Structure 1
Amino acid sequence: MSHDHENDSIRKTGLASYRRSKADARDRSRSLSDFVLESALGRAEETLADRHSFSLDAEKWAAFMAALDAPTRDLPRLKRLLSEPSIFSGRDPA
């Protein structure tokens, strides 16, 4: 399979998935964003259901706590990305 054909297949699959999700959201009288968020959270719960606790040795625990206590970093590229319209904002992809 050529690289271009593979990319085209991925795009078609993604577009079909997007349209199916949009239709499912509409059928449930929800926004697409709410539908996707709910689906993602449900999948995360399924994935992590058997993990009730996580254990770390003292060194990793200290690193974990230091990361939690550290001040937040300014991430301009992430800020810019999150300020752009989402594919879930209601406009159809080109």
Structure 2
Amino acid sequence: MTTKTRSEKLDLRLTPAAKQKLYRAAAHRSVSDFVLESALAQADETLADRQHFGLDAEQWTAFMAALDAPPRRHERMERLLNELSIFDESASS
């Protein structure tokens, strides 16, 4: 647990049975510390797949090739981006 000053508060509602379970699980520390530590561990686990992903050697090679490849031409997108917009001054004249 970090020693940084806690300045934010998070409230939650729970059943008496859930509260008792947390008190029993916290054992020899505060329930707040137990809940915070448990919630942060779960958050780290939940966020891990959004921050890091693993690739084997073949997948890595394909990934790098895709990044290094020149962009594909999209004629419809080019046409759309070259058209005058209703927001262009010259389009309203």
Answer whether TM exceeds 0.5 for this pair: no
Q: Where is the helix percentage greater, Structure 1 or Structure 2?
A: 1
Query: TM-score by structure 1 length?
Result: 0.38
TM-score, length-normalised on structure 2? 0.38
Higher relative contact order (CA 8 A, sep 6+): 1
Q: For the pair shown, which has the larger CA radius of gyration, 1 or 2?
A: 2
